[in-house]
Structure 1
Amino acid sequence: MAETAVHTPGAVALVSPLSASLGFSEAIGEIAATAAQREREQRLPYEEIATLKALGFGALRLSADDGGHGSTLSGLFEVARDLAAADSNIAHAFRNHLWQVEAALLRRDHPFHPHVLDLARRRKTVGLSFADSDATAAGARSSRVLSRLEWDERRQVYVGSGDKVYATGNLYNDAFVGLAIESRANATVQYVLERSAGVAAEDDWQGFGQRLTGSGTARFRDVVVQPAHVYAPDPPKTPEAAPWGFTFHQVYLTNCIAGIVRRVVLDAVEVLRARKRNFYHGEAAQPADEPALQALLGRIRAYAACIEASAQRAVQALERAQAGVGTSEEYARTLEATLAASEAKVVIDDLAPQVASWLIDLGSGSAVSSVAALDRHWRNIKVIASHNPRLYKERLLGQNLLSGQLPPTGAFF
């Protein structure tokens, strides 16, 4: 339903000038045009993701000399927000890969990271093959998927097995990274495993939203890892380094929600234009001329603009933090970014579902048809927001003001 063209001065556009300049406009427009159909048919977006890979979406942050687009971090989030407006499932499916690339760019001094960057340069995407599937608490670090890499003396390779639950994007990924115990030294190692025999992913994700992200179970059975692709773990951080290393994850999810809200605005315009019948107690013959409906459309637009601005504020704080890595400013900037990410999430998680609900109010009975699948916006927002409940962030923000309480340091906050 959404269109890329700008019809009137100041109108909201699906695709930003940046995405257009980088060559993503056509692909994002086609993804947007077919999103509702994919939702109705539950068709996984293999082709769409393959197109984005070929265009270098997964290599946005690599320099032009290294086969990428040379995008800034803010630019990455801007293009990702455009993609989320087109189809939040697809934007979400790239999150783990984009984080691995970002982490590699921050720490090029370890051979594990150039390997990840080389995969991105070759238009491949990287997923995760470690998780805490048997943990008693969400995010508790109690296990690894490939718990051991057993050395096969005859073949001179490592072999491992395991399952990863909530393997977002792994249906579409070409390689997987993780941690395991190396059998000969009985020590923790990092590894990169490229897709091959023994790697399978199931589309068994049962969420009521984000149904096409490939967030099911990934299974690894006697997978082979080449010894050249097994690395010593990253050295420990220095005492001066900031412990909040995973703010990217939360900002990316919040950015996806901001993209969905932009799509709500675009769909709201089309819903009101297409609506032919007004209620008998309305003030205008045509719904598009109805003052109450015009006001509601204006409210949707205004809230959406504030949501995008809040998301962008968190992106800018994250960009400042990453520019400060390795400097005396790292700790302060990273703390600022984590708090800004929490502030954005609290506000956006609260307002975005309301904006999606207003879309149905605007269209009334004309908006509830399953053909348009407009309900997906609310469902997708709620599922993305559920990854890290805002209640804990609200409390942390209050504690921080009262006593200087610092945020937790794990990836799941």
Structure 2
Amino acid sequence: MAETSTQAANPNARVSALSASLGLAATIDEIAATAAQREREQRLPHEAIAALKALGFGALRLPVEDGGHGVSLSGLFTVARDLAAADSNIAHAFRNHLWQVEAALQRREHPFHAHVLDLARQRKTVGLSFVESDATAAGARSSRVLSRLEWDAGKQVYLGSGDKVYATGNLYNDAFVGQAIESRANATVQYVLERGPGVATEDDWRGFGQRLTGSGTARFRDVVVRPEHVYPPDPPKAPDAAPWGFTFHQVYLTNCIAGIVRRVVQDAVDVLRTRQRNFYHGEAAQPADEPALQALLGRIRAYAASIEATADRAVQTLQDALTHHGTPDEYASTLAATLTASEAKVVIDDLAPQVASWLIDLGSGSAVSSVAALDRHWRNIKVIASHNPRLYKERLLGQNLLNGQLPPTGAFF
């Protein structure tokens, strides 16, 4: 089964053959048809996300024998791009869950990761309850929301409290995972916390784009963590193991932008076909026959195809890195994936907003109505792109060429 995501040969295709084969086409089409209305109404997509969970979107990477769909890593990005083209908010909301599942698949023998996979098998999604939020003079540093799990001897459970800011997707998640200090042994542990009393997620995200991702504040107040859901930390990596473990995050976000650009092409065709009035100084009676507008539509198509191909390159190198996991080639392939992800981000973050702006040029006054909500594409692209700005990627890529500088090992590289 072909799992490639580029649709340059048929830019009007709504979903890939892979999404259709997985039974996701109808749901993705419905999400696409109602995206503008949700944007206008600021209506959170609870029903759409519940439908995708039930269809196993969160279990795409689990083997079929374990209750999943058994798609490859590149196949996951194919389906995620289809979803991003329909509504980038919904695709973005699944990112942390999909990364957690990916990490668990590489360590499935560990009881913590086995628990995560079991939740995915049950069609539940997991979010994160730790965050990079503490600002210091040196910049952002990692912090843990539930910094301690206090043992309650009377109830024979652990209790924890804290807040997670910018909790993308947590509004929709069924469980939360993280690390904390266990009070009795004063040692670091991992935990799985299922949604229940004491968990509150707020829709207080005020970004000008990606407004429906559930990126508000998650608050935990004396939440109960059962002792059987507290696990030892992962063993340390071998000294010669590849240290870059967060490339998935960046490729996923870049893949979402590629999906938005695909939707821009589809909307551009619709705008030009349905627009009734041409510019007063135009050369044709109908906008669809106007040479300048036809050329602009062609430019949008060409740039979008190039953006998708660039994203595909990043996806493929990440797939190669996974293929070489645990082999002598792991270090080199993982480094290549990280550098390629940076290259893709630099190019796509620069070009994608231009393509979204050309959509407005194509429709002129006919495209600025809030009913169509076409401005959401530019806004959503810019908000996604703001995650770890491309300036740092540009500098790293230049340093790497000049003196072999290696990428940082923290998140988003």
Q: Deviations over 1:85-109 (max 9, x none)?
A: 0000000000000000000001112
Shift of 1:12: 2.5
Query: What corresponds to 1:360 in structure 2?
Result: 360
Partner of 1:409: 409
Q: CA deviation at 1:412?
A: 4.0
Q: Secondary structure at the match of 1:135?
A: strand
Any stretches of 5+ residues in structure 1 without a counterpart? 1-8
What residue number does 2:32 align with? 32
2:15 and 2:144 map into 1 onto residues whose CA distance is 40
CA contact (8 A) 1:128 1:167 kept: yes
Q: Distance in 2 between matches of 1:138 and 1:287?
A: 51
The residue that corresponds to 2:372 in the other structure is 372
1:290 corresponds in structure 2 to: 290
Tell me if structure 2 keeps the 8 A contact 1:260–1:381: yes
1:275 corresponding residue in structure 2: 275
Q: How many residues align?
A: 405
Q: State how 1:8-407 maps to structure 2 within 5 Å.
A: 10-136=10-136, 139-141=140-142, 143-407=143-407
SS of the equivalent of 2:170 reads coil
Distance in 2, matches of 1:262 and 1:373, equals 16
Q: Separation in 2 of the partners of 1:138 and 1:81?
A: 32
Aligned AA (1:127)? G
Deviation for aligned residue 1:138: 5.2
Aligned structure 1 segments of 4 or more residues deviating by more than 3 angstroms: none
d(CA) in 1 for partners of 2:208 and 2:326? 42
Query: For residue 164 of structure 1, what is the amino acid of its counterpart?
Result: K
**TM norm structure 1:** 0.97
Q: Percent identity?
A: 84
The DSSP-based 3-state class of the residue aligned with 1:133 is strand
Amino acid at match of 2:336: E
Which deviations, in whole Å up to 9, do the C-alpha atoms of 1:129-159 show, x marking residues without a partner? 0113323255412x31101000111111100
| Partner secondary structure for residue 181 of structure 1 | strand
**Cα deviation 1:171-217 (Å, max 9, x = unaligned):** 00000000000000001100000000000001000100000000000
Cα shift at 1:230: 0.5
TM-score, normalised via structure 2 length: 0.97
**Letter of the 1:243 counterpart:** P
Residue 126 of structure 1 contacts residue 173 of structure 1 at CA under 8 Å; is this kept in 2?
A: yes
Contact 1:241 1:325 in 2 (8 A): no
The two structures, once aligned, show a CA RMSD in angstroms of 1.1
Shift in CA distance, 377/250, structure 1 to aligned 2, threshold 3 Å? same
Give the CA deviation at 1:70. 0.5
Counterpart CA distance in 2 for 1:388 and 1:131 is 14
More displaced, 278-287 or 245-254?
A: 278-287
C-alpha contact (below 8 Å) 1:14/1:262 kept by paired residues: no
